[in-house]
Structure 1
């Protein structure tokens, strides 16, 4: 049997990549054919995405895939981060550059929203955790600012929907990314139009909801001719990158109502939760600020967003701007040389959303909370990683409380699995074995969803079995758990500190 080639365009908040998956019927091999830097662009004190630059990279990567793969690329699909969007007018003109979710226009917007619709009612209709970057608050920021774009918008497309439209001309809203907006009803599986109407926001801009695995059709003729991919179809993966990453979790137990494993999709963000069949919209999940996001196969990802390696990435950026030239191995060495469990931060405190100087923000937090202030770069990094691991422990307890059973194993997937110190710290802090891998989980989940859509793989559980057979996992056993147990109450006090 000749290999089948499927192409994932996996766009993260800091980088993007085109990854080809070659599937021989038993195992899948990955080949990265193109990579590019991604990130916000600041103009006039606002943060935007350079969507036309991203589109240029997408086309360049398509050409690279067609040039390097010695077989027909059967299909391609795009996954990105959630919450952000573009607007088209009635002539399909893009209305400006999409805003970046870290833009400060949503500061204070949740509080304004709650004055119109109570927090409890928003959660009852959407089941989504409250974060000021959610699409709902971005639209409200536009409304309160009197943005003319809302007046002339004809269609809202989430970022992966926007790129799929650029590829095919087809406009739709894919299920998993639609659920990140905080105006999608996960129980009724439709837009929460009544909620938007209460906010005075337009509902006609919302399109049909389509599921992962949907075949949108061929590439636009101009794109096919430019890239040489004349026989390639466009197939929707789980377009929210976490949905694709969870698709690639190599768990042995199939999804039950209450599974005994949880996942952490670890990158700039850490998304930690469990895969369930129905949303959990209760007073407890509201109190714990958990979210119910769509997964592949109609599942629900009951999870919580945690600030992940953004803390480390920003420290590295600031230090290298100041004249250093540290790579990730340098940072790992500095961290390993510093003692652990000395100081903690709350990784999700607003201070760390978009500071101008992350190392100083970490020091300032410890200073305000009366802790030992990290005096070296290694100490700053150790403080960040220990705090992320402790937050994993905190969220693990919440997951177990919500599903009513003990979680026996933690799967960590994504680029963050390369940070062995954090993987070990997660096992130590949580007192659970950690299985780390695959690294390219998001691209792999994207690819395997395409393989399922093509009929090459029979089901999601079969796809996970293929992933287990194709990629080795690193196992981390808990160590020195007594020290983490002793330090955990101190971390909880930090979470409650008035900073």
Structure 2
């Protein structure tokens, strides 16, 4: 039995998993879960990174007890775009700033004054979002942030945890590609582009591929945890990279939706698709496992529901997610719709009021009750998924016959069924823990227990059976989609 530990840090919580691989099937057990609560100090929103590392340490301690100290390796995956800066002695310079902080407001436009948008896309192949690392770094340049003056090393968030675990400073490929600071055609940081923006290029370390063995746990930590022989492996350290590695594809042309706080809607390709058509629809090309790329688009995802629930909880209305979905199912269908990617929905705050304002501005009935608001969110997500998939079909000049939904959102039966209905395609849902599973199978590949990505996905198919949602033909969904495209999306509102 091969025992592996996967650390998966998400926007709401961190989790430590213990995976067991018997050579045929992979099982996974959640060992420890801990909250991930950002902290706002003097107007800046930070990640509480040291508290997160304490959660990681506690989780590994528990995993060591369960396994009797026999864990072959450990790897970390997290969200993308955010980063840490270290000084010349390897010490952390302040808490990393949260991507939902407002420091990047207006920064894309200022960057475009120095480097044309088209040139940035041609060099990086990454979609334009104000949260991207490139604009976070430029915001520091624009404000003459003293952190940049004393910084010696740039690490993305999972790279920081790998450094604290192993002592090795390196950036893993799948996460490096999300920064919009990486040139996939050159295979290195886009140093000249960064230099033109005044971003210090000496900060950026070596880039290593997913499945790199970084080295053993640092001796003091290994002794403390009772893990004397555990290696630290860089998996696909971007959480979507890990999730897509675990998609049990049943058709080579299938699409995937990695559904969680964000919904990542895309396909797997062998090379970046960097063309004018991809730029026009703002598609991104992020690194994958085994020489693949993830051609995808970010959709705001279940963040909308999470923020609504947070608001209602503060008002004394206590609902879990399952109860909210049940309420939505009984609400009137396809009455009010939103564009999930409207910029007003990005920051934390009063999400129900923002959704109501969007509906009022677009001349729709205003959803008043939580049931109506949740239904509006889920139906709008399903319609946005269809829009993205149709854009992918046009970009690749081939049909997409099937959709795989993985991640936590695959447990939401209503959203999966409505996605099938809206898109007119079958949906295969699961595995729910795709991110942790992808993390684990890349570790197994690094240690020589699996030879390639296809063999690893065969293990996933043997180990986890997906749920099938067949599309139900309905003129109501088709009418709603036409209204969504012509009235709700930005082009239709102009």
Q: One fold, TM greater than 0.5?
A: yes
**Residue 128 of structure 1 contacts residue 291 of structure 1 at CA under 8 Å; is this kept in 2?**
yes
**Residue 355 of structure 1 contacts residue 361 of structure 1 at CA under 8 Å; is this kept in 2?**
no
The residue aligned with 1:256 is none
> Aligned-pair distance for 1:484?
1.1
Aligned counterparts of 1:396 and 1:39: Cα–Cα separation in 2: 33
**Residue 293 of structure 1 contacts residue 300 of structure 1 at CA under 8 Å; is this kept in 2?**
yes
Which of 450, 455, 458 in structure 1 is aligned with 2:443?
450
1:305-336 superposed Cα distances (whole Å, 9 cap, x missing partner):
00000011111111111112211121111111
Aligned ranges for residues 248-327 of structure 1 at < 5 Å? 248-253=246-251, 259-327=252-320
The residue aligned with 2:195 is 197
**Residue 219 of structure 1 contacts residue 232 of structure 1 at CA under 8 Å; is this kept in 2?**
yes
Q: Is it true that 1:391 corresponds to 2:384 in the alignment?
A: yes
RMSD across aligned C-alpha pairs, in angstroms?
A: 1.0
> Aligned-pair distance for 1:455?
1.2
Q: Is it true that 1:75 corresponds to 2:73 in the alignment?
A: yes
Which of 472, 478, 494 in structure 1 is aligned with 2:471?
478
Q: Is it true that 1:436 corresponds to 2:429 in the alignment?
A: yes
Q: Which one is further off, 326-335 or 67-76?
A: 67-76
Q: Is it true that 1:111 corresponds to 2:104 in the alignment?
A: no
> Aligned-pair distance for 1:252?
3.2
Aligned counterparts of 1:192 and 1:406: Cα–Cα separation in 2: 34
**Residue 69 of structure 2 contacts residue 226 of structure 2 at CA under 8 Å; is this kept in 1?**
no
Aligned counterparts of 2:14 and 2:203: Cα–Cα separation in 1: 28
The residue aligned with 2:127 is 129
The residue aligned with 2:177 is 179
Counterpart secondary structure, 2:250: coil
**Residue 242 of structure 2 contacts residue 438 of structure 2 at CA under 8 Å; is this kept in 1?**
yes
The residue aligned with 2:47 is 49
Counterpart secondary structure, 2:54: helix
> Aligned-pair distance for 1:498?
5.0
Runs (5+) with no aligned partner, structure 2: none
Aligned counterparts of 1:226 and 1:443: Cα–Cα separation in 2: 24
Aligned counterparts of 1:187 and 1:76: Cα–Cα separation in 2: 30
Change (3 A) 1:148 1:266: same
Aligned counterparts of 2:37 and 2:127: Cα–Cα separation in 1: 24
**Residue 431 of structure 1 contacts residue 481 of structure 1 at CA under 8 Å; is this kept in 2?**
no
> Aligned-pair distance for 1:222?
1.3
The residue aligned with 2:92 is 94
**Residue 248 of structure 2 contacts residue 458 of structure 2 at CA under 8 Å; is this kept in 1?**
yes
Aligned counterparts of 1:405 and 1:315: Cα–Cα separation in 2: 38
Aligned counterparts of 1:405 and 1:107: Cα–Cα separation in 2: 37
Counterpart secondary structure, 1:296: coil
Counterpart secondary structure, 1:86: strand
Aligned counterparts of 1:44 and 1:175: Cα–Cα separation in 2: 34
The residue aligned with 1:39 is 37
Change (3 A) 1:85 1:160: same
Which of 478, 491, 495 in structure 1 is aligned with 2:489?
495
The TM-score with structure 1 as length reference comes to 0.97
Aligned counterparts of 2:230 and 2:18: Cα–Cα separation in 1: 13
> Aligned-pair distance for 1:70?
4.3
**Residue 187 of structure 1 contacts residue 278 of structure 1 at CA under 8 Å; is this kept in 2?**
no
Aligned counterparts of 1:481 and 1:154: Cα–Cα separation in 2: 58
The TM-score with structure 2 as length reference comes to 0.98
**Stretches (4+) displaced over 3 A:** none
The residue aligned with 1:461 is 454
The residue aligned with 1:361 is 354
Aligned counterparts of 2:348 and 2:47: Cα–Cα separation in 1: 18
Alignment length, in residue pairs?
492
Runs (5+) with no aligned partner, structure 1: 254-258
Aligned counterparts of 1:430 and 1:189: Cα–Cα separation in 2: 36
1:87-140 superposed Cα distances (whole Å, 9 cap, x missing partner):
001111211100000000001110111111010000010000000000000001
Aligned counterparts of 2:450 and 2:199: Cα–Cα separation in 1: 42
Aligned counterparts of 2:343 and 2:254: Cα–Cα separation in 1: 30
